[in-house]
Each structure stands twice: as C-alpha cells, then as structure tokens.
Amino acid sequence: MTITSPKILLSLMLALVLAGCQSKVEYRDATEVETVDISFGSSDLQAVASKMVDSMLTTPSVVRLTANDRPILFVDRVTNKTSEHIDTESITDTISTRLLRSGEFRFIDMTRVDAVRKQLDYQNNSGMVDPAKAIQFGRQVGAQYMLYGNLSSIVKRDGSTQDVYYKMTMRLMDLETGLIEWADEKELRKQQSRSFLGL
C-alpha cells in the first residue's frame, strides 16, 4: 500500500478543479436578446435607442423641421439617475449615430470642443502653419437644437425576487426660443427570481 503525501493529494485535487473550470469563448449576434442578469444591458440600449430615434424622426413637429433643412444639433450626454453604473455615453453615441445616418440632421460634437480649440490655437498662433491655410477662429456654425435625456430606475425586492423598472426620457429643445419641439420616453421592466439554491 502506497502512502501519498497531503501535498501531492492537494495538488491533484487542485489540478482536477482547474481542469473542470475551463472557459469557452464564442461570437454571438450583437442584436440577440441578452438576459445574463437583470442590470441594464445591450438589449436595453438597443431598444431605447431604436424607440427614441424612430419617435423623433416620425413626430410631426420634427418632420416639419427637417422638411427643407438639416437642422444642427448638439447632443448632451444622457444623465444616469439610476443606482447602477451605466455607460450613458454609449447610449448617447448610439442615438447620435442613428440620427446622423438618417440624413435629417447635422451635428456639433461638444465633447471635442477643447481638442478643436487646441488645434485652432496651434494653427493660428504657433507660427508653424501657413496663415493663408490656417482655419480661422470664429467661423464655426452654432447648434440650433439640443437633444438631452435622463435614464432613471426603480428597484423593488421581495425575498428572492428582484424587479427593476427603467425609464428613458428625451427632449429636443430649440436653443433660440427654449421651446421643446419633441419629447418621448421608453419604459423597460425586468424581473429576476432566484431559487433556494441560487440556481
């Protein structure tokens, strides 16, 4: 009978556990419904963006605004009023991209103002750029409208059940008059129940 040392037994057990914990990575459809957990996810982002863009493009007041012109917008970053860490910049980017691709609007990117200012300062004040070819200060076009929104949530728990209600609200403001030309909201509700064993 062979006596095996505790260290060897522990090493063998650890090797077996690690062998059973191998992971598998595969590509999936990015538009497929994602239900890994109850938190705000990619399916929610796509649903919110689709609803907001479709609503805005088909609202009579916006249809009139874009009938003979391509209004200039700036999109303020969506405000996260939930208790979760949510990448609202990604929501903002998706909505902006879809609106730009519609061909109905032109955009000013307010997130890059400092970078633009530095570049114009370099062109006009560094002595490195031919003054005849430098882009001059004060010639940019201002936005006519501002698109902004909020994402909020209400979370309820009852024993092993958790319910989350999300509401995304967006508005389009005429910067000259302060009037709201369009507003809409998208609601989502998700529920998760856990069994006694957590399975």
Let me know if residue 149 belongs to a domain. yes
What is the average per-residue pLDDT within 30-40? 66
pTM for this prediction: 0.74
Terminal Cα distance for the chain, rounded: 42
Let me know if residue 198 belongs to a domain. no
Let me know if residue 11 belongs to a domain. no
Let me know if residue 7 belongs to a domain. no
The model's pLDDT over 97-113, given as tens digits with 9 standing for 90+, comes to: 999 999 999 998 888 88
pLDDT at 1 over 80: no
Residue 108 in contact with residue 74, Cβ under 8 Å? yes
State the total domains in the chain. 1
CATH number of the domain encompassing residue 153? 3.40.50
Let me know if residue 111 belongs to a domain. yes
Looking at mean pLDDT, say which of 34-43, 50-59, 113-122, 154-163 comes out highest: 50-59
The model's pLDDT over 46-99, given as tens digits with 9 standing for 90+, comes to: 999 999 999 999 999 999 999 999 999 999 999 999 989 988 999 999 999 999
Let me know if residue 199 belongs to a domain. no
Let me know if residue 117 belongs to a domain. yes
Range of the domain at 98: 38-126+142-192
The model's pLDDT over 179-195, given as tens digits with 9 standing for 90+, comes to: 999 999 999 998 888 76
